[in-house]
Amino acid sequence: MRKTILPKRGDALPGRDTAMPVPERHYVNNNPLQPPFPDNVQQVVVGLGCFWGAERRFWETDGIFTTAAGYAGGITPNPTYEEVCSGDTGHAEVVLVAYDPAFVSFEELLRVFWESHDPTQGMRQGNDIGTQYRSAIYTTDDSQQATARQSLAAYGAELRSAGLGEITTEIAPLETFYYAEDYHQQYLAKNPAGYCGIGGTGVSCPIGLDLDQKSA
């Protein structure tokens, strides 16, 4: 049964102390997959459904240093894919996005995020149903948190104007990002014909100065 209610802490799977082993380098751009990253690189973690297609959306974006598939927002430490899919970890499938703000702004990454999925669907994304497919933004500083909330308000207004529902995206400070298994990393680069599962609403997201105006 696909679960659509998050588990309570006492009901979550126990997990493990050992982190998932992953490759040293990104399959597409050959940059490091794990920190430490260069001082100029900032990070954000986003969930927008199946992480295979979500990760590709971001590694194809200019200014990205590296991306990685993983899990966040839940309770179970160092979960496996099967555990996350059970709905008993509380985690979402997410993508770590490490980017250089000199080449791509956080606002632009938010535009890619909003336009790449339907953030009104709650615990699902299209035909993918379950808590692991929820929409989420896990921020790494207060500035990201404020900007993400502004963008939610602005994009929410655009969606309402288009006759769509309210945004259900979770926005919260990142606690821990857990890397997914090796075979999930840059999956669609290794398997170009693989499942994507990512599709937007067709509604454009205001960014930059427009974002501030529409959220006022």
- Active site positions, annotated: 50
Q: Is 136 left (phi over 0), alpha (psi -120 to 50) or beta?
A: beta
**Cβ(197)–Cβ(203) under 8 Å?**
no
Write the DSSP string, 75-124.
SSSS--HHHHHHT-S-PEEEEEEEE-TTTS-HHHHHHHHHHTS-TTSSSE
Residue 163 carries which side chain, given as an amino acid letter? G
CB neighbour class for 105 (10 Å; exposed up to 12, middle 13-18, buried from 19) = middle
Give the tokens for residue 91.
């985690």
What whole-number distance in Å separates Cα of residue 176 and Cα of residue 79? 12
What is the tally of helices (H) and strands (E) in the chain?
6, 8
Helix (H) / strand (E) element for 71: namely strand 64-72
Residue with tokens 């035909």: 127
Give the tokens for residue 200.
């937007």
